[in-house]
Amino acid sequence: MTMRARTFTKALLAAGLVAAAAPALAQSQGPGQGQGQGGDLSGQQRSNRVVQPYIEVAQIVSAELTPGNDVVTFTQVAVGVDVNVQGRNSGAAVSLRYERNIGYGDNSVDTDTISGIARGTLALVPNALSFEAGGLAARTRIDAGGGTTANPLVREDAESRIYSVYAGPSLDTRVGVVDLQGVARVGYNRFEFDDALVTQAGNSIDVFDDSVTYLGQLRAGVRPGEVLPVGLAVTAGGFQEDIGNLDQRVRDLFVRGDVTVPLTNNLALVAGAGYENVEISSRDALRDANGAPVIGPDGRFVTDPGSPRQIAFDVDGLLWDVGVLWRPSSRTELQAAVGRRYDSTTYYGTFTYVPSQRSSFAVAAYDGVSGFGGVLNNSLARLDSDFQAIRNPVTGDFGGLVSGTDGQSVIGGLGSARSAAFRGRGVLASYQRNMGRTVAALGAGYDRRTFIAAAGTVLAPVNGLTDESYYVIGGLTREIGRNANLTTNAYVNWFNAAGNNNDVTAMGASAAYNHAITQRLEGRAAIAVDYFDSEFTAQDFAFATALVGLRYNF
C-alpha cells in the first residue's frame, strides 16, 4: 500500500463518514421535529440535535507484561466529532476521530489513525423515498492465519485497518392496496495491513485488498384480507461484489413469490419459492518462468489480466423456504425460516424485542455468499441511524459496538480477512439497557466462512476450507455525581483458521474516569490490559497501558 493510496483511502472514508451525517444535519437546521431516544453513555436522554467536536491531549505509558518487560511512552493528540441529529423523517449518528501518537526514543510509536462509524437517512419524499449512507473505519489486529481481532494495541506491529462506505436510495410506500419496498446501494471496502507479507506454514495467504458492492431489490405485495384471505408478494433482486484480489466476482440474482397465511391475529405462516442464479468466478495469478504465482510488494497475489475467468461456484435453479412471522406487539417481532438456497439447506431469521425506550434486544441469523466487503456493507446497513459509538478509552478505537435502542447494535465482518469469496453463516446478538445513571451495551456473535475458489487457480487450495470466529464486546458507563463518570469496556475474540493449531485468542478490558473541570474542559485517566494467545507464534503477549489527559469540548 503506497502512501498516496493510504491517503486517498483515509480521505474517502472521512468524506463518507461526514456525508452520512450531512443530509440530516442540513434537514435539521429548521425547527426540530421528533426526539431521538437512543441509549446515551452519559446516562441522560439525548436531545434531537447533538453536535460535539472535541480535542484531546494525553500521555500514555504501555508496559509489556509478557514475554518481555519493555516500556514505551508516547503523547496522543486527537480531534474528533460526535453527532446525533434526529428529525421526524431524517436522522444521523456519527463518531469520527483522528488520532496522532508521538513517541520518544529508539522504539518510539509514531502513528496516525482515522476511526469512526456513521449512519444517516434523509427523507427525499416523506414516508416514501429516502437516501441512506453509512461509513466505518476501524483499527484491528491481523494474525498469520488471516484472522482479525478488535482493539489492537497502539504499538502492535500487526495492526490492520478496515474501511467501508455505502450509499443509496430506499423506497417504502403504498400505492392503493399494494405495498412497495425497494433498496439500491453501492459500497466500497478496503483492508490495509502493515506487514508486507502474511504467511502460514510457508504458504502465502492472500489477504483481502478492496471491493465494490452493488445491491438492488424491489418488492410488491398485498396484505392478508385486502384482496385475498392471504397475503401475496413478488420480490426481485440482485447482489454483486467485485473483489480486487484476482478479479473475483460474486453475483447473486433472484426472483421469488411469497404467500402469508394468517393463523392467529399475531402469528402467520410464510412460504416462498422462486428462481436464483448464483455465480462466483475469478482470474488466476500471474506466473513466473517456473510457474510459481507472482506476489506483489503488498504480500498479495498479482492478478493475470489475460487469464480466462474461471467458475468457482454456479447454481441456477429453484429456491424455496418456509417459516413463521410472529408479531405479538409493535415492540416484539420474530421472523424465522428454513429452506433451500445455494443448492443446500439454509436457515435465517431475526428477533427484536424493544420493551421500552430504555432497553432493546436483537438477534439475527444470516446465510449468504459474498466477500469480506459485502459483510461489512450489510452490517452497516442493518444499523439504525440513532446510536452512540462505544470506544476504547485508552486507544480511542471503535471495536464494533454501538449503544442504541432500535435494531442490531454490533458490527459483524471481523474474523477472517482472506480474499477468497465465501458462504458466510452465523448469528449476531446485541442488548442495550439504560438504568438511570448507568448505561450498558453488550454484543456477541459467531461467524463461519466456507471459502469458494476455482480449481486450477492459485486460490484452489482454500476451496472448502472453513474459518470460524466468536466474539463478545461489552461497554458500561456510570455517572458519578454531576461532573464525573466511569466507563468500562471489555472484549474477547476467538478465531480458528482452517487447519490444525490455528487458534487465536484475544481479550482485554479497560476503564476510564472522566471529570469535568470546567463546563468544556475535562480530565481523563484510564487503564487497560490486553492479552493475545496465538498458536502462530511460540509466545503469548500481554500488555498494560495507562493514560492521563485532557479533553476540550467546543
Q: Domain coordinates of the chain in residue numbers?
A: 3-553
Q: Determine phi and psi for 220, rounding to 5 degrees.
A: -130, 130
Name residue 312's amino acid. Answer: A
Residue 157 CA to residue 173 CA, distance in Å, equals 51
Task: Tell whether the model's pLDDT for residue 554 goes beyond 50.
Answer: yes
- For the chain, what percent of residues have pLDDT higher than 70? 82
Task: Tell whether the model's pLDDT for residue 17 goes beyond 70.
Answer: no
User: How large is the greatest C-alpha to C-alpha distance in the chain, in angstroms?
Assistant: 77
Band of residue 195 on the pLDDT scale cut at 50, 70, 90: low
Name residue 383's amino acid. Answer: L
Task: Tell whether the model's pLDDT for residue 51 goes beyond 60.
Answer: yes
Task: Tell whether the model's pLDDT for residue 316 goes beyond 80.
Answer: yes
Nearest to 250 by CA among 219, 286, 211: 211
Band of residue 338 on the pLDDT scale cut at 50, 70, 90: very high
Instruction: Say what the pLDDT of residue 37 is.
Output: 31
Residue 147 CA to residue 156 CA, distance in Å, equals 15
Instruction: Say what the pLDDT of residue 285 is.
Output: 92
Mean pLDDT, range 366-390, rounded to an integer: 90
What pTM, to 2 d.p., does this model score? 0.85
pLDDT digits (tens, 9 = 90+) for 440-459: 889 899 999 999 999 989 99
| Spacing of C-alpha 247 from chain mean position | 23
pLDDT digits (tens, 9 = 90+) for 143-155: 655 556 555 554 5
Average pLDDT, the chain: 84
pLDDT digits (tens, 9 = 90+) for 79-103: 999 999 988 888 999 999 999 888 8
Mean pLDDT, range 227-231, rounded to an integer: 93
Name residue 483's amino acid. Answer: N
Mean pLDDT, range 191-217, rounded to an integer: 73
Instruction: Say what the pLDDT of residue 170 is.
Output: 95
Mean pLDDT, range 210-238, rounded to an integer: 95
CATH architecture of 3-553: Beta Barrel (2.40)
Q: Cell digits for 236?
A: 426481485
Name residue 128's amino acid. Answer: A
Q: For every residue of 217-265, which 3-state class applies, written as one string?
A: EEEEEECCCCCCCCEEEEEEEEEEEEECHHHEEEEEEEEEEEEEEECCC
Instruction: Say what the pLDDT of residue 320 is.
Output: 96
Q: Determine phi and psi for 342, rounding to 5 degrees.
A: 55, 30
Band of residue 532 on the pLDDT scale cut at 50, 70, 90: confident
Band of residue 30 on the pLDDT scale cut at 50, 70, 90: very low
pLDDT digits (tens, 9 = 90+) for 450-498: 999 999 899 999 999 999 989 898 989 999 988 999 999 898 988 887 7
Residue 411 CA to residue 399 CA, distance in Å, equals 9
Mean pLDDT, range 389-412, rounded to an integer: 77
Partners of 367 in the beta sheet?
425
Q: Quickly list DSSP for 309-369.
A: PEEEEEEEEEEEEEEEEEEEETTEEEEEEEEEETTEEEEEEEEEEEEETTEEEEEEEEEEE
Instruction: Say what the pLDDT of residue 416 is.
Output: 80
- DSSP 8-class letter at 29: T
